[in-house]
């Protein structure tokens, strides 16, 4: 196992440990809050019938000093509950952040195990942090070979507002974005030419017309437009409801990764294969 894999696995185990601790804290806070609420109900009944234990037998109304003491206890308990509920909300927020981070690291680990430059590298969230030639992004099998396409599948169909494409090497070759409906029909959302002189990494955004509901989109590129290897790291689907999804799976017309399905620990050798 590589040093980076050990670090990644260690980080995931740490996140899992933090999540377990947060869950235990949330359970403890829940129990304490419920116990305090029971005490508040008990005191409240005692305030009404004169019994601090909640005895509902008919007795004379409590005296004013006793009522004042009960009121003070109720106020103190309610403040304690309010503080604990704030702590509970913080713990839940922390757990949600930890789960999100764990899922992100898990997705990145799975993506890193896929063939370099393959179509699978364009699925999931971005993991190519800088522009240039990186095996963590998709590249076509042939440099400057002309028309290529990527077809991205997402988890949930949405009324599409926008498709975003993260181009990480030689951006500017996208010429068409098409939505593929559930019945197989295709609707062209955008067709044209990207601006020239773009700097990688570049987040290309393509707006959709109203009423296009789909979970699959196709990105078409003319790789002869910009000299060099065009690479795409991630594809995102933005819904009109504000939802955002990274591609669950991606197919391509061709992939450089089809040539190297073995684990790629020696990236420098692969780069030499590509004439870099």
Whole-model pTM: value is 0.59
Residue 69 CA to residue 76 CA, distance in Å, equals 11
pLDDT for residue 65: 61
Whether 61 and 50 have beta carbons less than 8 Å apart is answered as yes
Q: Is the C-alpha dihedral spanning 269, 270, 275, 276 positive or negative? A: negative
Cα 92 to Cα 16, 20, 21, 65, 185: the distances in Å are 15, 12, 11, 41, 43
Q: State pLDDT tens for residues 129-180.
A: 899 999 999 999 999 999 999 999 999 999 999 999 999 999 999 999 999 9
CB atoms within 10 A of CB 3: 7
Q: State pLDDT tens for residues 86-97.
A: 888 888 888 888
Using CB atoms within 10 Å of the CB of residue 63, give its burial: 0 to 12 exposed, 13 to 18 middle, 19+ buried.
exposed
pLDDT confidence tier of residue 107, bands split at 50, 70 and 90: low
CB atoms within 10 A of CB 228: 14
Domain range summary for the chain, segments of one domain joined by +: 3-112, 119-257
Whether 136 and 112 have beta carbons less than 8 Å apart is answered as yes
Using CB atoms within 10 Å of the CB of residue 44, give its burial: 0 to 12 exposed, 13 to 18 middle, 19+ buried.
middle
What mean pLDDT do residues 55-83 have? Answer: 68
Whether 123 and 112 have beta carbons less than 8 Å apart is answered as no
pLDDT for residue 50: 56
- Of residues 258 and 227, more confidently modeled: 227
CATH code: domain 119-257 is 2.60.120.260
């Amino acid at each position: 196992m590589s040093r980076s894999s050990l670090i990644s696995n260690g980080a995931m185990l740490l996140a899992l440990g933090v999540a377990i601790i947060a869950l235990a804290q949330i359970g403890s806070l829940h129990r304490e809050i419920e116990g305090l609420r029971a005490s508040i109900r008990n005191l409240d009944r005692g305030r009404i019938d004169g019994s601090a234990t909640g005895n509902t037998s008919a007795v004379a109304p409590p005296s004013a000093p006793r009522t004042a003491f009960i009121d003070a206890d109720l106020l103190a308990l309610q403040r304690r509950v309010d503080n604990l509920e704030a702590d509970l909300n913080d713990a839940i927020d922390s757990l949600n952040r930890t789960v999100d981070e764990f899922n992100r690291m898990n997705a990145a680990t799975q993506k890193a195990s896929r063939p370099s430059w393959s179509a699978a590298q364009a699925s999931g969230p971005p993991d190519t942090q800088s522009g240039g030639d990186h095996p963590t992004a998709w590249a076509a099998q042939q440099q400057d070979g002309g028309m290529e396409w990527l077809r991205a599948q997402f988890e949930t169909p949405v009324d599409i507002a926008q498709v975003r494409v993260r181009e990480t090497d030689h951006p500017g070759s996208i010429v068409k974005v098409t939505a593929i409906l559930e019945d197989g029909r295709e609707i062209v959302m955008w067709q044209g030419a990207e601006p020239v002189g773009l700097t990688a990494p570049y987040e290309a955004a393509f707006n959709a017309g109203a009423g296009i509901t789909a979970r699959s989109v196709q990105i078409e590129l003319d790789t002869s437009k910009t000299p060099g290897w065009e690479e795409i790291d991630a594809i995102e689907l933005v819904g009109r409801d504000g939802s955002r999804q990274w591609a669950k799976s991606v197919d391509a017309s061709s992939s450089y990764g089809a040539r190297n399905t073995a684990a790629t620990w020696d990236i420098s050798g692969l780069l030499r294969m590509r004439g870099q």
